[in-house]
Amino acid sequence: MSVMKAGLEDIVVSTSDICFIDGHEGRLLYRGYDVNDLVARSTFEEVCSLLWYGRLPTRKELEAHVKALASTANRKLPPKIITMLRQLPKKATPMEVLRTGVSALSAFDPDAGNLSHEAELRKTIRLTAQMPTLVAAWERIRRGKPVVAPNPRLSLAANFLTMLTGKKPTPLAVKTFDVALILHADHEFNASTFAARVTAGTLADLHSCIVSAIGALKGPLHGGANEQVMLMVEKIGKPERADAWVKNFLAQPGARIMGFGHRVYRVEDPRAKHLRRMALELGQEAGDTSSVQIIETINRVVGEQKKIFPNVDLFSGAGYKTMGIPIDQFTPIFAMSRVSGWAAHVMEQHGNNRLIRPRAEYTGPTREQYKPIDQR
């Protein structure tokens, strides 16, 4: 039997051309482009094109791609999906609703069971366009507010914030949100992407793969951590309480603090610095930087005591909160961006497929004697 590595740590399962992480240098590349350059010069829509088509688009290609992603035909939800959302209990969490909604959307998709590359691209564009509408629609429905229709003239970031809040977002909020989408778009074989690839490996359809990925993203050790960070910040309440709170928290045996640590990075996650800056800028615009101050104190104490570094989830929520986004929507927003990477990986997996099927090192009994039920 081969070597066992708990959690598949450092195990290479496949080649991939999509994303490269250097966990020691703190570098993250999408298709060879440094994420810092993409943050400075690109847009989420262009990054989607890069991930799905394997290269940066020409101006003409980008225009067509942006138009497709923004079209009402692709962004709008089938009316029966809205009816279904209205029938869900209002206490359903946005991640539950997103998981259910994406699964239901497959029943309305004309290409649902079609695994050809062209059909997978069409579904990828539709799902990336529909997911923000789904997330925003649930927010409106659960609060008893009218659903806001998508606007094909707006970027994905601007359209989402408008549909979610019913208000025109500030230019800083749109820019910041777009950068957050770029930063969350892909991250090699993280847990949710791997879940998508495992599902793709059975030759299941794109929607099934994305539903698997949403389930994996939901957990607090992965995408659910951004929500947990903000709940911690709310519990702390005031910057002056943060130092004592975090020291007390870390003194508990086995304490695990959300937003820190990573399987691959041994330095600070390269995405964290952008999210920190953005959270601060938004806080300054709104005249309240207390969340960022609390997080900075947590970061200092964790760094001193644990020698672990911030990951992508530490600062993202502070910015979202300032934009008026409810905490339980943070992970669905992560999914709205990561669907771009998940879909790229599903297409790559289907392009050169082999079933993913590892082994377990069996540690149970081997010679049990079966006893009839009345003798047990």
In the complex, what is the shortest distance from the CB of residue 190 to ligand ACO, in angstroms, rounded to a whole number?
6
Q: 308: how many CB neighbours lie within 10 A of its CB?
A: 15
Give the 3-state secondary structure of residue 99.
helix
Q: What is the number of the residue whose Cβ is closest to ligand ACO?
A: 261
Q: Phi and psi of 325, rounded to 5°?
A: -90, 130
User: Does residue 262 have an active-site annotation?
Assistant: yes
In the complex, what is the shortest distance from the CB of residue 29 to ligand ACO, in angstroms, rounded to a whole number?
17
Which residue in 262, 274, 345, 350 is the catalytic one? 262
In the complex, what is the shortest distance from the CB of residue 209 to ligand ACO, in angstroms, rounded to a whole number?
18
C-beta closer to ligand ACO: residue 160 or 330: 330
- Sequence length of the chain is 376
Q: 140: how many CB neighbours lie within 10 A of its CB?
A: 17
Q: Which residues bind ligand ACO (CB under 6 A)?
A: 7, 190, 221-223, 225, 256-263, 306, 308, 311-313
C-beta closer to ligand ACO: residue 5 or 90: 5
Which residue in 184, 274, 313, 350 is the catalytic one? 313
C-beta closer to ligand ACO: residue 26 or 261: 261
Per-residue b/e over 253-282, b at no fewer than 16 CB within 10 Å?
eeeebbbbbbebbeebbbbbebbbebbbbb
In the complex, what is the shortest distance from the CB of residue 28 to ligand ACO, in angstroms, rounded to a whole number?
12
User: Does residue 222 have an active-site annotation?
Assistant: yes
In the complex, what is the shortest distance from the CB of residue 247 to ligand ACO, in angstroms, rounded to a whole number?
13
93 dihedral zone (left: phi>0; alpha: psi -120 to 50; beta)? beta
Give the span between the Cα atoms of 65 and 206, in whole angstroms.
Answer: 20
C-beta closer to ligand ACO: residue 74 or 329: 329
Strand partners, 21: 28
Which residue in 22, 222, 243, 328 is the catalytic one? 222
Residues 6 or more apart from 335 whose CB is under 8 A from it?
95, 98, 131, 213, 214, 217, 223
Q: 107: how many CB neighbours lie within 10 A of its CB?
A: 11
Are residues 347 and 239 in contact, defined by beta-carbon separation less than 8 angstroms? no
C-beta closer to ligand ACO: residue 66 or 302: 302
Active site residues: 222, 262, 313
